[in-house]
Chain A
Amino acid sequence: MTTASQQTHQSSSGSLQPKGWLKYFSFSLDHKVIGLQYLVCGFIFYLIGGSLASAIRIELSSPMSDFMARDTYNQVLTLHGTIMIFLWIVPVVNGAFGNYLIPFYVGARDMAFPRLNAVAFWLIPPAGLMLITSYFITGAAESGWTAYPPLSITTPAAGQIIWILSVLLLGGSSIFGGINFIATILKLRRPGLKLMQLPMYCWAMLGTSILVVLSTPVLAGTLILLSFDIVAHTGFFNPTLGGNVIVYQHLFWFYSHPAVYIMVLPAFGLVSEILPVHCRKPLFGYSTMVYSIMAIVFLGLIVWAHHMFTSGTPPWMRLFFTIATSFIAVPTGIKFFNWVATLWGGRISLNSAVLFSCGFIANFVLGGITGVALAQVPFDIHVHDTYFVVAHFHYIVYGGSVFVIFSSIYHWYPKFTGRMLNEDLGRLHFLLTFLGFNLCFAPQHWLGLNGMPRRVAEYDPQFTFINQLSSIGALIMALSTLPFLWNVIQSAFKGAIAGDNPWEALTPEWLTTSPPPVENWTGMAPLVKEPYGYGIKEESIQIQSPDISDPENNKQ
């Protein structure tokens, strides 16, 4: 079985690479190393973005702007949004888990384009550093993560241009990643493995990557035009020069609505992997899950103007986008009921991974309901640009995606490191995160309904108490990071040895050692035709040719 091609493959990706922990700082081509690079790098940016969020909540615990100057607040707000979206959630739910898991799931030894993959990752740290250091050197961008003109053309130019450059780099990274995922899933599947036998996360990543490839370039083009307006004083989006700000909004949201799905579809996929393992039941409604993902991809591309109901959008357009947006509730609802049905009657072990996944389901339902509400024009006009919107999208991106990221870390940490995380600390982490998150954001629905505008450092004193409540929630969220950090660091050295497959899972990444060898499997890739065959009779589960010659690998 030691074929020549295997050896050349190994030497081409391994010989010049540093060994041990140093490889995580190298231009490694190993998809597992790149995945963990994404994860750790993203988490560092999460800590920075979280500190900025804490600064925002400190400022907002009193009505006047007393903690920081107004323009500092605007910069902090812009950096918080940009970092959390482009440097934490998008790279982690796509880049980190996608790179680590997709080659296993399709039965490949690496991604389709390993070099492009490493380039995609290494675009991120410089882009992030550039964005953050702009605060100290020229002052960061002040126009929010949306960079709406004319605000973005009239605020100080240097920070805005640096913001554009780093978002372009991050967009490029995202596109390269998307191309790689599409090619890996469609072209690198192990022979004998059909598309409809793939684990759900593959479908989620296929859908997400289609969105990335179709929509991110539009944002890039738009930002190039915006930079022309700033640098060369053209008038694309400058009304005083005959330009049109609404066109910017259309182009921006053509990317940024799908961006929500770029953040949340992979999370859907990850939850679909985690739940069946821990409740020992097959994933309910596999094919409806697949069709739902594809329906969301399609609908996600034609609903962008629901962000623009107050931008003078003509009535026919409002009608179309309200209806199209409401339709998204159908595939999303199907997925929700499928997860509940997966849990239903299962032998659920309520460990940290499951707790975070269930937390995700609860939060996401609330975020989804407020989302359908926001899609209705009369309601949207009432709460547009208020804290109701802030509450809504934090329920989606934090209550949704970030909860899933934590769930996934608890689930796959044994695979990454070969050691278990501490369950007590994990449950404490969940408790603090869940309580803190809901205390922080649930009251903001009320604030928004009562008219508190978002993105402003100062507010009417009548909102003080509720804002303080929200800030206490944010404090608890900040504290919740401590048990988590302690857990991942000390478990890496002192955690219980996990073994190859501590959850007795059936998906292919568990059918190898923990952590896996450079080539993923010592022998041929196993052919897993039923990744969710829990509770089905042993002999009908087809896992062909796991490497029997290796006794370590013989436990499953």
Chain B
Amino acid sequence: MTTLSPINSSSEEKSEEQVVNEQEHGDHRLFGLAAFLVADGMTFAGFFAAYLTFKAVNPLLPDAIYELELPLPTLNTVLLLVSSATFHRAGQALRKDEAKLCQRWLLFTAGLGLAFLASQMVEYFTLPFGLTDNLYASTFYALTGFHGLHVTLGAIMILIVWWQARQPGGRITSENPFPLEAAELYWHFVDGIWVILFIILYLL
């Protein structure tokens, strides 16, 4: 191991070895997360497909048809879209090494996420149907509930990232932005899913 073989002794080969080492120790975690989000997105795609098929081939009885109120879900959409933008600002602040600003944007994002959840709860409690009332009701709660679970996880993740960013000499800096970037990618994904869900569930 310690003796250099003749092939490797040229400077060209040595630099190649450095490249190999960099390659091996490169950070592919965001790539992995993106692949996972593709998988997660397919779960939603399955749910959407099920919902649309139910809607097309299983007409409900007239008394089960219910027009959803739009104001609250529209507010929810705005909350999530704004939170995507604020998270983006947090990432920008981190890259510029403005730690305080980054933390403030993170906290703001988490607040918007929690506001979304609260608003979703209000909607759940004011809806005139329950989980097992009919096929439409079940699918509505399955879709929004599965998405709400994602928002809950995301809000917890943001709060953890915020907590870590606050620690002095902390784990989240412009040199190690991975936890923040991962949470950001996940959060944009969850927001994107909501937009599709909003269109399919409330507007169609």
Chain B positions within 8 Å of A228 at CB level: 138, 142
* Chain A positions 180-235 with a Cβ under 8 Å from a chain B Cβ: 180, 182-183, 186-192, 213-218, 220-222, 224-225, 228, 232-235
A5 contacts B by Cβ under 8 Å = yes
Query: How far is B134's CA from A331's CA once the two chains are assembled, in angstroms?
Result: 45
* Most chain B C-beta atoms within 10 Å of own C-beta, residue among A180, A189, A523: A523
Give the Cβ gap from B140 to chain A, nearest Cβ, in Å: 11
Give the Cβ gap from B57 to chain A, nearest Cβ, in Å: 7
Query: How far is B36's CA from A116's CA once the two chains are assembled, in angstroms?
Result: 12
B70 contacts A by Cβ under 8 Å = no
B5 contacts A by Cβ under 8 Å = yes
Query: How far is B34's CA from A113's CA once the two chains are assembled, in angstroms?
Result: 14
Given contacts A232-B131, A548-B6, contact A217 B28 (CB under 8 A): no
Chain A positions within 8 Å of B13 at CB level: 545
Q: 1/0 per residue A497-537: CB within 8 Å of B? A: 00000000000000000000000001111000000000000
Query: How far is B193's CA from A257's CA once the two chains are assembled, in angstroms?
Result: 26
Check B24 against A250 for contact (C-beta < 8 Å). Answer: no
Chain B positions within 8 Å of A525 at CB level: 20
| Interface segment, one of B42-50, B120-128, B156-164 | B42-50
Chain B positions within 8 Å of A214 at CB level: 38-39, 42
Query: How far is B132's CA from A109's CA once the two chains are assembled, in angstroms?
Result: 52
Query: How far is B53's CA from A175's CA once the two chains are assembled, in angstroms?
Result: 26
* Chain A positions 69-118 with a Cβ under 8 Å from a chain B Cβ: 107-109, 112-113, 116
B109 contacts A by Cβ under 8 Å = no
B138 to A, closest residue via Cβ: A234
Query: How far is B139's CA from A3's CA once the two chains are assembled, in angstroms?
Result: 57
- Name B7's contact: one of A107, A113, A216, A545 (CB within 8 Å): A545
Q: 1/0 per residue B174-204: CB within 8 Å of A? A: 0000000000000000000000000000000
Check A187 against B39 for contact (C-beta < 8 Å). Answer: no
Check A244 against B58 for contact (C-beta < 8 Å). Answer: yes
Chain B positions within 8 Å of A247 at CB level: 50, 53-54
Chain B positions within 8 Å of A189 at CB level: 23
Chain A positions within 8 Å of B16 at CB level: 191-192
Query: How far is B3's CA from A275's CA once the two chains are assembled, in angstroms?
Result: 37
A522 to B, closest residue via Cβ: B1
Given contacts A3-B21, A228-B142, contact A545 B39 (CB under 8 A): no
B53 to A, closest residue via Cβ: A247
Given contacts A188-B23, A544-B7, contact A524 B39 (CB under 8 A): no
Query: How far is B144's CA from A65's CA once the two chains are assembled, in angstroms?
Result: 47
A236 contacts B by Cβ under 8 Å = yes
A242 to B, closest residue via Cβ: B135
- Name A549's contact: one of B3, B49, B146 (CB within 8 Å): B3
Interface residues on A, range: 35 or more
Query: How far is B2's CA from A109's CA once the two chains are assembled, in angstroms?
Result: 19
Given contacts A221-B46, A250-B53, A251-B49, contact A1 B138 (CB under 8 A): no
Query: How far is B137's CA from A232's CA once the two chains are assembled, in angstroms?
Result: 13
Query: How far is B19's CA from A242's CA once the two chains are assembled, in angstroms?
Result: 61
B69 contacts A by Cβ under 8 Å = no
Check B50 against A236 for contact (C-beta < 8 Å). Answer: yes
Query: How far is B143's CA from A224's CA once the two chains are assembled, in angstroms?
Result: 12
Q: Mostly helix, strand, loop or mixed at chain B's interface?
A: helix
Query: How far is B28's CA from A525's CA once the two chains are assembled, in angstroms?
Result: 20
Chain B positions within 8 Å of A285 at CB level: none
Q: 1/0 per residue B21-45: CB within 8 Å of A? A: 1011110110110011011111111
Chain B positions within 8 Å of A547 at CB level: 5
Given contacts A235-B138, A545-B13, contact A2 B39 (CB under 8 A): no
Check A243 against B24 for contact (C-beta < 8 Å). Answer: no
A241 contacts B by Cβ under 8 Å = yes
Check A217 against B40 for contact (C-beta < 8 Å). Answer: yes
B2 to A, closest residue via Cβ: A2
A190 to B, closest residue via Cβ: B20
B74 contacts A by Cβ under 8 Å = no
Query: How far is B29's CA from A112's CA once the two chains are assembled, in angstroms?
Result: 9
Check A217 against B7 for contact (C-beta < 8 Å). Answer: no
Check A179 against B50 for contact (C-beta < 8 Å). Answer: no
* Most chain A C-beta atoms within 10 Å of own C-beta, residue among B3, B4, B20: B20
Give the Cβ gap from A292 to chain B, nearest Cβ, in Å: 24
Given contacts A1-B8, A191-B23, A236-B138, contact A549 B38 (CB under 8 A): no
Chain A positions within 8 Å of B31 at CB level: 183, 186-187
B98 contacts A by Cβ under 8 Å = no
Give the Cβ gap from B6 to chain A, nearest Cβ, in Å: 7
B60 contacts A by Cβ under 8 Å = yes
Query: How far is B22's CA from A108's CA once the two chains are assembled, in angstroms?
Result: 11
B18 to A, closest residue via Cβ: A3
B17 contacts A by Cβ under 8 Å = yes
Check B5 against A549 for contact (C-beta < 8 Å). Answer: yes
A347 contacts B by Cβ under 8 Å = no
Query: How far is B26's CA from A109's CA once the two chains are assembled, in angstroms?
Result: 13
Query: How far is B21's CA from A218's CA once the two chains are assembled, in angstroms?
Result: 38
- Name A108's contact: one of B17, B24, B42, B44 (CB within 8 Å): B24
Query: How far is B43's CA from A216's CA once the two chains are assembled, in angstroms?
Result: 8
Check A242 against B26 for contact (C-beta < 8 Å). Answer: no
Chain B positions within 8 Å of A555 at CB level: none
Check B53 against A524 for contact (C-beta < 8 Å). Answer: no
A254 contacts B by Cβ under 8 Å = yes
Chain B positions within 8 Å of A186 at CB level: 31
Check B2 against A1 for contact (C-beta < 8 Å). Answer: yes
- Name A179's contact: one of B21, B32, B146 (CB within 8 Å): B32
B60 to A, closest residue via Cβ: A242
Given contacts A234-B131, A251-B49, contact A242 B42 (CB under 8 A): no
A9 contacts B by Cβ under 8 Å = yes
Check A235 against B23 for contact (C-beta < 8 Å). Answer: no
A175 to B, closest residue via Cβ: B39
Give the Cβ gap from B9 to chain A, nearest Cβ, in Å: 10
CB-defined A-B contacts under 8 Å, sample of 5: A187-B26, A190-B23, A192-B16, A234-B142, A242-B60
- A residues contacting B by CB (< 8 A) are 1-3, 5-6, 9, 107-109, 112-113, 116, 175, 178-180, 182-183, 186-192, 213-218, 220-222, 224-225, 228, 232-236, 241-244, 246-247, 250-251, 254, 522-525, 544-545, 547-549
Knowing that A178-B35, A235-B135 are A-B contacts, what are 6 other residue pairs whose CB atoms are under 8 Å apart, sorted by A's residue number?
Answer: A180-B32, A183-B35, A189-B23, A217-B41, A244-B135, A545-B8
- B residues contacting A by CB (< 8 A) are 1-8, 13, 16-17, 19-21, 23-26, 28-29, 31-32, 35-36, 38-47, 49-50, 53-54, 57-58, 60, 131-132, 134-135, 138-139, 142, 146
The 9 closest A-B pairs by CB, nearest first: A218-B46, A234-B138, A217-B43, A548-B5, A217-B42, A221-B43, A221-B46, A179-B35, A242-B135
